[in-house]
């Protein structure tokens, strides 16, 4: 079996694949982020316990694992001291800390930096979070590891990262694929805190004896990092070369792969980000349509009903107009008044508003990458039938739901197959049906 692990913002998932790329078993637990006093974070120990729990749920099947792949959220991670101990909790990517650091980078580098890192300067960036920590008295940092890298270290004792995750740091040049030491230097720390960059599918370490004892995985099994969740999910969902992907979880992102570097300036003008693809041999363009998962969770809480029930109520309901300001307020946890209409009509209106953002994102993305043949939807939001119908009615291309329930974890397992020598690349594996 191949094991794929997806550490997501809301849930951590694991999937076991056989030699034909078919799912044999899946498991999942809540990712232990906690929101308190305007902060969203989790302890490094809590992440380890989360990993133990999702692996324990696999039971004796763990003994059959021949390779491990890890994917997950970018930007979130922990600073470590010389002994490998965490100096601070893992700050969630959508935590708003880092405004002062982002402003410092704006003043120091202006418009040059976004053109090199492929995205605008904002608090989401890893360097903004580290700048906040350094600015608030953190000392003694010798390494920073993102969440997938922390899992790699926990299983193997090794430290490495991967192209698509490095490209989300805010100090990695997406054209030359190299670190930019002047960026962290402007915030008071060294670029040396980041680990070496390796291609997804490369063996980055072997499960060590200590990890075998607590994880139940065989010692000596190769482990790789499969990359940023949206991009790893493209492999797992069966997104083809001519397709665009619609990854819908805590955040909704529209992605298309490109064999050559897009025009970064033109992409930024469209609000599109440019990143490096997991193997380091291609690029991808991404558009963040909305923090859709946060929007719907907040709205469901305000309406006092579970998501599945609201989806049922929305079927056939006439959507009420929900303004973009309401969507933005829900995404950021701000107080908001929903329209005074039946819950099904409000829910249908929210789904329509989110679908409109998907359409806008697809339009902007394809101005950069060119038209796509279809939009393949995967992630938790792909289970919503009224949401899919709203997208299909509004988009100019066919909307296809991936048959894979855990696309990111499956993609991570496919890259584990490369590390284990089962196949030369993920492109050659049978697509899910």
Give one DSSP letter per residue of 293-328, joined into a string.
HHHHHHHHHHHTS-HHHHHHHHTTPPPPP--HHHHH
What pLDDT, on a 0 to 100 scale, did the predictor assign at position 24?
Answer: 87
For residue 323, how many other CB atoms are within 10 A of its CB? 12
The structure's pTM equals: 0.91
Q: Following DSSP, what letter does each residue of 22-72 receive, concatenated?
A: -EEEEEEEE---EEETTEEEE-HHHHHHHHHHHHHTTGGGGGG--EEEEEE
Tell me if 55 sits within 8 A of 217, measured CB to CB. Answer: yes
What pLDDT, on a 0 to 100 scale, did the predictor assign at position 325?
Answer: 87
pLDDT level of residue 264 (50, 70, 90 thresholds): very high
Q: What is d(CA 418, CA 2) in angstroms, rounded to the nearest whole number?
A: 10
What pLDDT, on a 0 to 100 scale, did the predictor assign at position 314?
Answer: 93
Looking at domain 2-231+408-428, its CATH class is alpha beta
What pLDDT, on a 0 to 100 scale, did the predictor assign at position 306?
Answer: 94
Q: What is d(CA 317, CA 342) in angstroms, rounded to the nearest whole number?
A: 9
pLDDT of 20 > 90? The answer is no
Q: How far is CA 148 from the centre of its chain?
A: 10
Superfamily of structural domain 239-401: ATPase, nucleotide binding domain (3.30.420.40)
CATH 3.30.420.40 location in the chain: 2-231+408-428, 239-401
What pLDDT, on a 0 to 100 scale, did the predictor assign at position 430?
Answer: 66
Q: What is d(CA 428, CA 13) in angstroms, rounded to the nearest whole number?
A: 24
**Which residues, in sequence order, are bridge partners of residue 159?**
none
65-85 pLDDT, tens digit per residue, is 999 999 999 999 999 999 999
């Amino acid at each position: 079996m191949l094991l794929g692990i997806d550490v997501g913002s809301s849930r951590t998932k694991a999937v076991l694949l056989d030699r034909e790329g078919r799912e044999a078993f899946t498991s999942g637990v809540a990712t232990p982020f906690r929101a308190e006093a305007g902060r969203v974070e989790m302890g490094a120990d809590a992440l380890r316990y989360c990993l133990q729990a999702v692996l324990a749920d696999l039971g004796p099947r763990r003994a059959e694992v021949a390779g491990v792949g890890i994917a997950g959220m970018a930007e979130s991670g922990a600073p470590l001291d010389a002994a490998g101990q965490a100096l601070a909790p893992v700050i969630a990517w959508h935590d708003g800390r880092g405004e002062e650091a982002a402003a410092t980078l704006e003043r120091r580098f202006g418009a040059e930096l976004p053109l090199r890192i492929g995205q605008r300067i904002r608090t989401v960036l890893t360097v903004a979070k580290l700048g906040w920590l350094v600015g608030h008295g953190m000392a003694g940092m010798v390494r920073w590891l993102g969440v997938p890298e922390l899992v790699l270290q926990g299983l193997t004792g090794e430290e490495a990262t991967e192209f698509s995750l490095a490209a989300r740091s805010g100090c990695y040049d997406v054209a030359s694929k190299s670190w930019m030491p002047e960026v962290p230097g402007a915030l008071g720390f060294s670029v040396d805190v980041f680990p070496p960059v390796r291609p997804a599918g490369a063996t980055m370490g072997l499960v060590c004896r200590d990890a075998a004892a607590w994880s139940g995985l065989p010692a000596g099994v190769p482990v790789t990092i499969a990359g940023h969740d949206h991009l790893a999910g493209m492999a797992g969902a069966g997104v083809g070369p001519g397709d665009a992907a619609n990854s819908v979880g805590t955040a909704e992102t529209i992605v298309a792969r490109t064999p050559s570097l897009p025009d970064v300036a033109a992409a930024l003008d469209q609000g599109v980000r440019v990143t490096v693809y997991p193997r380091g041999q291609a690029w991808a363009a991404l558009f963040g349509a909305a923090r859709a998962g946060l929007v719907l969770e907040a709205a469901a809480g305000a309406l006092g009903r579970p998501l599945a029930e609201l989806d049922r109520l929305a079927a056939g309901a006439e959507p009420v107009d929900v303004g973009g300001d309401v969507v933005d307020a829900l995404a950021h946890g701000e107080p908001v008044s929903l329209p005074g209409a039946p819950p099904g009509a409000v829910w249908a209106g929210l789904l329509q508003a989110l679908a409109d953002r998907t359409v806008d994102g697809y339009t902007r993305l394809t101005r950069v990458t060119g038209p796509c043949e279809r939009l393949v939807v995967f992630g938790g939001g792909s289970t919503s039938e009224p949401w899919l119908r709203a997208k299909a009615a509004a988009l100019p291309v066919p909307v296809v739901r991936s048959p894979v329930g855990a696309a990111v974890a499956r993609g991570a397992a496919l890259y584990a197959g490369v590390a284990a020598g089962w196949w030369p690349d993920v492109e050659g594996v049978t697509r899910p049906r």
